[in-house]
Structures are given as structure tokens and as C-alpha cells.
Amino acid sequence: MTDPHPLVRLDGVTKTFRTPPRGLFERAGSVVGLENATLEIGAGESVAIVGESGSGKTTLIRQMLGLSTPTSGTVHFAGREVRPRQDSLTWLRRRTGLVFQDPYSSFNPRRTIGQSVAESLEGSGTRGDHRAMVAAMLERVGLPADAASRYPHEFSGGERQRIALARALVHRPELLVGDEPVSALDVLVRSRVLALLAELRDEFGLTLVTITHDLGIVPRLAERTIVLHGGRIIEDGPTGKLLDSPDHPYTRELVASRLTLPDSTWRGEQRGS
């Protein structure tokens, strides 16, 4: 089945936030979080969204997922308009999954892992044997068989990000969005979670959108990179081209700020790990 529509389409999306008045007689101000963002993401693409804190990365994906209503502009998912005010968006929840940055605060400490993961199935109205689906997905992300009956505090940060992946994927969405999914993990754990993410993408044919401020992991995650700066999309293109010959001065600065290792560094016995 070929779909004539891109999976995600944003047309001129702007989001402004009100700021409280600073003094008693002053008026409330406003801050532009995202300015006139227009982009299309096709099914099966892997896209990284990079930029510094406050550049609008999270605001952009919140519009994509219908978690916030744009001030102006439109958002479409697979040709259908996303209208959070008028629509419960259950259809969109079924087709999308989200992984957050912080492995420690994204789970309810009083619910078992099984209950937390099953929330995605309930929220998306998925039918079937929830318990079996949860167990199968937890096993797929590499957790022990009894994980479903345990609580979040019993797991390490890396294990919790695996659980977060299970929760984001258990209802078999088409689009997986990660908001800094590995930046709170230490480098060794990060490497293993990134490898798992790539495996799952291929296995489930996912479209992947990942936010990161770390250019170092972008080549492992995405063929295409979008750079945000001050709420605007300033560059959008193939990851390799963007890292080798960035167009925008800000992207050049971002690429130059990457800490690199000297050329004489050990490169390992075999490529790929």
C-alpha cells in the first residue's frame, strides 16, 4: 500500500508562549517557541532534530504529535489534520510513540513496569491480550521475563530507557519520536541503547524522529538532520552533507564545537559495534 501523503507534514507552524508580566502594571509578553516551520517527513525516514537548549526542538515535536495546538499553521499526519482542540486524537496515539529524556522521572513509581507499558495499549485503544503483548515487547528490548511485575526503582537508567522504548512501541506505532532519548545515559549504556533503537527501527519499519543536542550520535541515528536555531529551521538535509559542509554559520559553529578525537586514535579491530 503506497500512501500519497507524507507521514508528517507541517505548514507554516508557529507557536508562541505567553510570559507573565514582570511588574504589576506591565503587560504580559510573549516568546516565539517555533517560527513558521514547514517540513515533510516521509514514511521510513530517520530524522534528527538538533539545536541548543531553547531552540524549539521540543516545541516542534509537540506540534507533530498533537500535544500542543499551534498558534498558526497546520499539522497533518498521513494526510489527516491534527487538531488537538477538536479531537481526542486516539487515532494519532495509536500510530505514534514517544520516548523521553529522563529515565528516572518518566515512570510512575507506584505502578509496575507491566502497568506502565500497558498504558500505551489502553491510551491507543489497542485490542487483544495486553499482558502477552507487554511481555513480548519487554522481552524484545532485552529485559528479564519477570520485569513486568517489578517496579521502576529496581531498574538502572539504561534498563529504564529500554522499558520506555517498550512502552513507546508496544502498540506498534509507525512513528517513534525520541526527545533526547539517550542523553542522560553514560556513554557505554548509550551505545547499547542506540544499537537497540537501530535494530527496532529496521525490525518494525519505523519512521524515526530523534531530538538531540549531541551531534556525535546523529550519524548513528539519522540519514537526515534538521537544525533549529532560535525557533527557526535553519538547515535541513542529509546528515553526511550537513556534518561535512554545513551551509549556515550556526551549523558550522555547532559542528566545530563537537569534541573530536585525534586521527591517530585506536579504531578497533572491526568496524561496527
Residue numbers of the site for another protein (CB under 8 A)?
A: 52-53, 156-157, 186-191, 213-216, 219, 253-254, 257-262, 264-268, 271-273
- Least Å distance, CB 186 to another protein, is 4
- Least Å distance, CB 38 to another protein, is 25
Closer residue to another protein in complex, CB, 2/265: 265
- Least Å distance, CB 261 to another protein, is 5
- Least Å distance, CB 100 to another protein, is 16
Closer residue to another protein in complex, CB, 71/191: 191
Closer residue to another protein in complex, CB, 41/254: 254
Closer residue to another protein in complex, CB, 5/213: 213
Q: What is the 3-state secondary structure (H, E, C) of the chain?
A: CCCCCCCEEEEEEEEEEEECCCCCCCCCEEEEEEEEEEEEECCCCEEEEECCCCCCHHHHHHHHCCCCCCCEEEEEECCEECCCCCCCCHHHHHHEEEECCCCCCCCCCCCCHHHHHHHHHHHCCCCCCHHHHHHHHHHHCCCCHHHHHCCHHHCCHHHHHHHHHHHHHCCCCCEEEEECCCCCCCHHHHHHHHHHHHHHHHHHCCEEEEEECCHHHHHHHCCEEEEEECCEEEEEEEHHHHHHCCCCHHHHHHHHCCCCCCCCCCCCCCCCC
- Least Å distance, CB 51 to another protein, is 9
Closer residue to another protein in complex, CB, 128/268: 268
Closer residue to another protein in complex, CB, 67/234: 234
- Least Å distance, CB 217 to another protein, is 9
